[in-house]
Amino acid sequence: MLLSLSIIILSLYFIQWMKWHTAQKEEDTGYQYIPDCTIVIPFRNEEKNLPRLLHALQRNFPDRWRIILVDDQSEDNSRGAIAPYINFQTQLISSKGEGKKVALRTGIELAYTPWIVTMDADLILKPGWEATLYQSDWSSDMIIFSLEIEDGYSHLENWQQIEFSIFQYITKKSCYKGQPQLCNGAFLGFKRRSFIQVGGYQSHEEIASGDDQFLLASFRQLDKKITYHSTQEKAHVAGVRSCRALLQQRLRWAEKSKDLPIADMRQLGMITLLANAIALLLPWITSPLIATALLLLKWLPEYFAISNKLRSQHRLFTIFFLITYPIYVLIVAIGIVIFPIEWKGRRIS
């Protein structure tokens, strides 16, 4: 009975991945313009990261774009660090309340441009990032910009690179399929008018995290046009440097999934959890040969979701990642129940 259930779950998991593997991007429609945009950057205690981001933005910045920096009650010298970058295009304000969603809403309320682009303070933009904007489909209601984890030197950072590569694959392919599952507020664009039409962050305001995922769900509920755009590896975020910070980050990401209003988004989290639980269970309920054969239903699609670059750079570590990943998923699942969830010194759950 348990073996039969395992086969069913892993088969469903494999079928889901095959749907994504076959999804293809529609042909580019040749959008070669950039509309007026306001970049909203909420921040809290980011004195080390903000100057780097502002330098990259202002070095080659579209003339009609503006930046609104929203201070979410920082306790470090963030304001002093960014003072040299404040000018007629770059504005610094204080959040009206506490938390990232309130900070985002505070900035968006002051934006009058047709488009809003949200960026996290730790976003790393490489030279030439602005050139990729010309290939974005600005007829969309939302554009999900691709991200990479910055190259690191530790196994922990390599782990994050591989995992994030899989997340980006799901983001891209599910968007091509017309059922986008993931996005990242670290680099996300949307029409201001569409944001107002879906109610902004109002439907999930009481939930501390997940501003990006819940906004994506709100856009999907009203059948807004959502597209994925490759930044051609010009946009990166830094990986966290400790196991505790990684766990806290993943707890925040996982905890919000149960409250998502779209059924297939909740189902993705559930079937992923079940497939990883089965991966831990199989070696105990059947022979090693059968267990390995069944686990190929999970490992193979995940392996090919990892970017070619990472598979080439970390061949053995990629195999290690796939085999041990279920343990990590189980730790996160249990951690949601037993660990307090924190962000930048605040307990959010």
Structural domains of the chain, with CATH: 2-21+261-343 (no CATH), 36-241 (3.90.550.10)
pLDDT string in tens for the chain (349-residue length): 789 999 999 999 999 999 999 988 877 665 668 899 999 999 999 999 999 999 999 887 777 789 999 999 999 999 999 999 999 899 999 998 888 889 999 999 999 999 999 999 999 999 989 888 888 999 999 999 999 999 888 999 999 999 999 999 999 999 999 999 999 999 999 999 999 999 988 866 666 566 899 999 999 999 999 999 999 999 999 999 899 989 888 888 887 777 788 999 989 989 999 999 999 999 999 999 999 999 999 999 999 999 999 999 999 999 999 999 999 999 999 988 888 877 776 777 5
Query: Whole-angstrom Cα distance, residue 201 to residue 188?
Result: 14
**Residue 10, pLDDT score:** 95
Look at residues 316, 315, 269, 276 and name the one whose alpha carbon lies nearest to residue 295: 276
Please name the amino acid found at residue 327. Answer: I
Cα separation, 298 vs 10, in Å, equals 7
Residue 88, token pair as written in the block? 């007629």
Structure tokens, 115: 């488009």
Q: How far apart are CA 262 and CA 210, in angstroms?
A: 14
Q: How far from the centroid of its chain's Cα atoms is residue 274's Cα?
A: 22
pTM reported for the whole predicted model: 0.93
Those residues whose C-beta lies under 8 Å from the C-beta of residue 45, and which sit 6 or more positions away, are: 74, 75, 76, 78, 344, 345
Of 349, 294, 23, 35, the C-alpha closest to 173 is: 23
Q: What is the pLDDT of residue 255?
A: 78
β-bridge partners, 191? 115
What was the pLDDT predicted at 52? Answer: 95
pLDDT at 16: 93
Give CA 84 to chain center in angstroms: 30
pLDDT of residue 208: 57
Contact criterion met (CB below 8 Å) for 144 and 228? yes
